[in-house]
Amino acid sequence: MAEPAVRIPDAKVALSTASVYPESTATAFEIAARLGYDGVEVMVWTDPVSQDIEALRRLSDYHQIPILAVHAPCLLITQRVWSTDPWVKLQRARAAAEKLGAGTVVVHPPFRWQRQYARDFVDGIWRMANETDVRFAVENMYPWRYRDREMLAYAPDWDVTKDDYRHFTIDLSHAATARTDALQMLDRMGDRLGHVHLADGNGSSKDEHLVPGRGIQPCAEVLERLALGGFDGYVVIEVNTRRAMSGAEREADLAEALAFSRLHLASAVRVPRR
């Protein structure tokens, strides 16, 4: 019988620039290149470099690392980044992705208090998706919790599989915070899964974004399913390294996350030796 060999799958592993916070966007490019990531996802936030297409292009060219995705400014702290109009934010994210050669724009569902935006969101995302080759991949979120109280902060729903989108992003840390089964969510997304935010969690009310393998989420199983299914999107490491005591410790965490991802993507795909 032929001895099995490992084939490296096609899915690229990228580093989210959010993973180096409180360090800068520029630092994320430097670390991603040094560790051997396949690319970066740019989190557009309050760092001026993250908002500047030409500065991002220069970083990509200098470090010889592609920008694979752009995360639109959807966070509470980015409400005034690239306009206060959420549709303008998405238009600018799409333009940035097109100019930078990124294949995906990641977007969160609206906050419930953004009533008109929330009412138009599903149809509006479809309209924008029809105008470009860039994927708009809508990301699963979670209920906000305080003690015994739960607040549904997102509309139409934090569980984006309840609505009709062309592409989804699955975030495993968000699944942990929502206390939902990530593998079942993956099944519901099916072939509309376009993007992955890989991080771990323990089901805390806080969005933890742990290094994969340090929580209870099925990170390895998700990667193995992606590899076996021929996933052609991007796996993005989006972890919290704010507690790192030094740059070396932060880099070690990001190297561990990359090694975990590549190991479990590769271990699922075997071909016979000739």
Give CA–CA dist 79/87, Å, rounded. Answer: 12
Task: State the CB neighbour count (10 A cutoff) for residue 180.
Answer: 17
In this prediction, residue 146 has a pLDDT band, given cuts at 50, 70 and 90, of confident
In this prediction, residue 153 has a pLDDT band, given cuts at 50, 70 and 90, of very high
Q: Where are the beta strands (DSSP E) in 44-101?
A: 67-71
Instruction: Identify which has the larger pLDDT, 79 or 18.
Output: 18
Task: State the CB neighbour count (10 A cutoff) for residue 71.
Answer: 29
In this prediction, residue 60 has a pLDDT band, given cuts at 50, 70 and 90, of very high
Name which of 71-85, 122-136, 153-167, 171-185 the model is least confident about: 71-85
Give CA–CA dist 194/190, Å, rounded. Answer: 10
Q: What is the pTM of this model?
A: 0.92
Instruction: State the angle between helix axes of 115-129 and 86-100 in degrees (0 to 180), rounded to the nearest 10.
Output: 30
Task: State the CB neighbour count (10 A cutoff) for residue 164.
Answer: 11
Amino acid 3: pLDDT: 46
Instruction: State the angle between helix axes of 25-35 and 53-63 in degrees (0 to 180), rounded to the nearest 10.
Output: 20
**Burial class, 198, CB count within 10 angstroms (exposed 0-12 / middle 13-18 / buried 19+):** buried
Nearest residue to 234 via CA among 107, 106, 133, 128: 106
Please check the confidence at residue 87 and state whether its pLDDT lies above 80.
Answer: yes
In this prediction, residue 149 has a pLDDT band, given cuts at 50, 70 and 90, of confident
Give CA–CA dist 131/128, Å, rounded. Answer: 5
Sign of CA dihedral 115, 130, 192, 133: negative
Amino acid at 249: E
Three-state DSSP at 227 gives helix
Amino acid 1: pLDDT: 47
Write the pLDDT tens digit of every residue in 21-56: 999 999 999 999 999 999 999 999 999 999 999 999
